[in-house]
Structure 1
Amino acid sequence: MTAEESQTSIVVESVGGRARAAVLEGGAHLRPRLVELDGTHARIALVAVCATLLAGDHIRLTIAVGPGVTLELLEPSGTVAYDARGGRASWHTSVRLAENAGLLWRGAPFVVADGADVSRHTALDLHSGARALVAETVVLGRSGEQGGALRTSTHARYGGRDLLVEDVDLRHPATRADPGMLADARVLATTTLVGAEETTPRSHETRLPGPGALARALTREAHTVEAALNDTWNRWRGHVTTATVRG
C-alpha cells in the first residue's frame, strides 16, 4: 500500500444472536462510525475525514457481514472527485456477505468535477441466502460544469455465479452524449438488488439472470433522481429486511 492509498475495513458478525461490529478500521480519508446495534441489525456511517477525492487518492473499502446479520451503511455527505490536474483517483469497494446476511446501502451522490479522472469499482460476493440492496448516484459536474472523466464498474456474484458484470465508460464527453449512453443527462442513478427475485419489475427495472434486479434513472438535475427511484428502493428494501429477520 502506498502513502496515497487508504484502506477502510468493516466486519460485522453475530454473537449470541446479536449483531456486533468486530472491525471498524478507518483510513486516511474514510472512517466507519457505529450508529446503532439493534438485534441482528447494525447501522454504520461512513464519514469522510478530509477533502476527497484528490489526485493520487486511492480508497479501498472492504466490508464483510456474518451469517444472519443485516448491515445498513449510511453516508452523511456526498463525495466530490476534484480536478486531478493530470493525476488520477480511485475508489474500490469489496463486499462479502455470508449465508442469510443482508446489506442496505443507499449511497450519497458521487460528484465528478471538471478535470477529475476517477475510477470506481464495486464487487459484491454473496453466499447463497444472502441479500443486498445498493443504490448509487453519479453526478457529472458541479453546477455549470460538464464533469470530468469517470469509469465505473460493478461485479455482483451470488452463490458463486455471476449475476452482473458491468463496465460503464464515461471518460469522454462526446461518447457519453450518445443516445445509447447518457444523451443530455448528467446524473446516473442505479439501484441494484442481489439475492432476491423481483417478480413484477416496473418499466425502468430489469431482472438479472438469477435472483436479482437492476433499476436505473437518468436525469439532468441531481435533486430529481432520488424521487425517480424512491419507489423501487422502498419495495426492494423489504426483500432484504424480511429475509434477514426470518434468517
Structure 2
Amino acid sequence: MPTRIEVVADPVRDRCVLITDHLSPRRLPGPPGVVRVALVAAGALLLAGDQVRIEVVVSGPIRLEIVETAGTVAYAMRGSSARWDVEIELIDGASLQWYGEPFVVAAEADVTRSTTVRLEPGCTAEIRESLVLGRYGEIGGTLHTQTRAWMGPELLLAEDLDLSPENRTGWAILGQARCLDTVTTLGHRLPEAPHTLQLEGSGSIARRLVHQQHESDLGRTRMRTPATD
C-alpha cells in the first residue's frame, strides 16, 4: 500500500484522506483554501530493498502544501537497491506546492527515483527536488532519476538523469558539483532569469549546481509569481 494524500475541495469543509506506509502524512493547520500536510518517516529510510511510493491526488480549486519535516538519507545497500516513486494528479483547478528537503545518496547506495505529474489545464504545481550525492566527505552512491509531466494529453516534461559516480562528473551533468537543486513549475512559468529553463509548454525549471546544499538559493526564494506565457 502506498503513502497517499487525497484532497478534495468542498464549499463546507475540504476533505483530506491520508494513508500511511513508509511515510506518515499528517495534516497541519492552514488558512482557508489551503491544505497543509507534513510527511514524517514511519521508520528507518531509505534502506536496501525499500520501495517507497507516494500518491498525491488533489481535486478542485484548492492548494495542497506538502511539508517534509526532515531530509532523507539512502544508506549503503551492499549490492542491493531501493526505489522512491511519486505519482501526482491535479484536477479541476487544483494546485500543489512541495518544497522537498535534501535527498542524500550515501556511499554504496543505489536508488531509482521517479516523479510523474498529471495536470488538467488550469492546474499548477511547484516542486523542489534537492539531490545530494554523498554525505560530507563521501563520494555518493548511484542515483537514477526519471521525471515525466503531462498537461492534459500533452507531454510537458521528460527528463532522465544518470547520476552514477562514473557518469555524473561530465561537464554536461554535474561536473565537480555534489548537489543538484531543482524547482520545477508546471502550469505557469517563472520569470526569465539565469539558470532558468522555459519549457515549450507552460512550465519552467530553475536549477542550481552547488557543492554544499545550503549554497543554493532556491530554498530561500519562493518563486510562485507566474510570468506571462
The equivalent residue for 2:20 is 26
CA–CA separation in structure 2 for the residues paired with 1:20 and 1:97 = 15
Maintained 8 Å contact 1:113/1:142: yes
Of the three residues 135, 144, 155, the one matched with 1:151 is 144
Alignment of 1:90-109 (within 5 A): 90-109=83-102
Distance (Å, rounded) in 2 between the aligned partners of 1:92 and 1:110: 13
1:190 corresponds to which of 182, 186, 209? 182
Calculate the TM-score normalised by the size of structure 1. 0.88
TM-score by length of 2: 0.95
Between the aligned partners of 2:40 and 2:155, the Cα distance in structure 1 is 31
1:204 matched to 2:199: no
Provide the C-alpha distance between the structure 1 equivalents of 2:26 and 2:189, rounded to a whole number of angstroms: 32
The structural deviation recorded for 1:96 is 0.1
Displacement of 1:197? 3.3
- Partners of 1:13 and 1:143 in 2: CA distance: 42
The alpha-carbon distance between structure 1 residues 53 and 230, as it changes in their structure 2 partners (threshold 3 A), is closer
Cα distance in 2, alignment partners of residues 65 and 92 from structure 1: 18
Deviation at 1:174, TM superposition (A): 2.6
Residue identity in the other structure for 1:59? V
Structure 1 residues 210 and 17, CA gap change in structure 2 (3 angstroms):
farther
One-letter amino acid of the counterpart of residue 57, structure 1: D
Local SS of the residue matching 2:87:
strand
CA distance in 2, matches of 1:135, 1:77: 14
**Among 45, 48, 51, the residue aligned to 1:55:** 48
Measure, in 1, the Cα distance between the counterparts of 2:66 and 2:77: 28
Q: Which runs of 5+ in 2 are unaligned?
A: none
Q: Which amino acid aligns with 1:143?
A: Y
- The Cα shift of 1:18 comes to 4.4
- Output aligned runs, 1:90-169, within 5 Å: 90-169=83-162
Distance apart, 1:39 and its partner CA: 1.9
Displacement of 1:159 in angstroms is 2.0
- Following superposition, the deviation at residue 59 of structure 1 comes to 0.5
- Residue number among 155, 158, 166 corresponding to 1:174 in the alignment: 166
Partner of 1:243: none
Q: Which has the higher helix share?
A: 1
Distance 1:63 1:219 in 2: 30
CA contact (8 A) 2:181 2:213 kept: no
Identity of aligned residues (%): 41
Counterpart residue number, 2:64: 71
Q: Give the letter for the 1:102 counterpart.
A: S
CA distance 1:78–1:230, change in 2 (3 Å): closer
Following TM superposition, where does structure 1 have runs of at least 4 consecutive aligned residues deviating by more than 4 angstroms?
none
Alignment match, 2:10: 15
1:237 equivalent in structure 2: 224
Q: Which residue of 2 aligns with 1:242?
A: none
CA contact (8 A) 2:64 2:95 kept: yes
Does structure 2 retain, via aligned residues, the 8 Å contact 1:114–1:141?
yes
| Secondary structure in 2 matching 1:114 | coil
Computed over aligned residues only, the root mean square deviation of the Cα atoms, in angstroms, reads 1.5
Q: For residue 223 of structure 1, report the CA deviation from its aligned partner.
A: 1.3
1:98-143 superposed Cα distances (whole Å, 9 cap, x missing partner):
0210000000000000010001000010001000000010000001
User: Could you list the runs of 5+ residues in structure 1 that have no partner in the other structure?
Assistant: 1-5, 240-247
Q: Which secondary structure state, in structure 1, belongs to the residue aligned with residue 69 of structure 2?
A: coil
Cα drift, residue 15 of structure 1: 1.7
1:17 CA displacement:
5.4
Aligned to 2:213: 222
Number of residue pairs the alignment of both structures matches: 227
